[in-house]
């Protein structure tokens, strides 16, 4: 299974990268974060049921799962399993209002 990344998830990744690179002035950690996201997505692709199911009220997100970014345990990848692929919905810090953020997601399964 190959993961596809929604634009909002891509924005989440870039926002976290910029935060580590600019705000924290830590280019090594910023690069490690990008590699960790890529490795974690590979892991999810190999074992798609590894993530914990997340209860959501929004029909478009039924079956949503989350899994931690290796080495950045406060960050989670939220994803949907499709028939032949994985769709990464968001990459969020666990302290954010996840339900509110996910409640704004639209059905993008046609991407």
CA–CA separation, 33 and 111 (whole Å): 26
Confidence (pTM)? 0.90
Show pLDDT as tens, one digit a residue, over the chain (111 residues).
788 999 999 999 999 999 999 999 999 999 999 999 999 999 999 999 999 999 888 888 989 999 999 999 999 999 999 888 899 999 999 999 888 898 887 655 434
What SS3 class is residue 57? coil
DSSP element (H, E) containing 42: helix 27-46
pLDDT of residue 59: 84
- Domain range 2-98, CATH architecture: 2-Layer Sandwich (3.30)
Helix (H, G, I), strand (E, B) or coil at 87: strand
What are the residue ranges spanned by the domains of the chain?
2-98
- Cα–Cα distance for residue pair 6/11, rounded to 1 Å: 9
What pLDDT shows up at residue 108?
Answer: 56
């Amino acid at each position: 299974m190959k993961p596809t990344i929604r634009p909002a998830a891509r924005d989440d990744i870039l926002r976290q990268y910029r935060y580590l690179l600019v705000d924290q002035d830590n280019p090594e950690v910023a690069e490690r974060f990008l590699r960790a996201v890529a490795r974690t997505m590979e892991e999810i692709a190999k074992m798609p049921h590894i993530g914990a199911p997340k209860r959501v009220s929004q029909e478009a997100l039924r079956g949503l799962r989350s899994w931690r970014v290796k080495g950045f345990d406060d960050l989670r990848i939220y994803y949907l399993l499709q028939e032949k692929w994985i769709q990464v919905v968001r990459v969020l810090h666990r302290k954010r209002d996840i339900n509110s953020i996910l409640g704004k997601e639209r059905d993008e399964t046609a991407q």
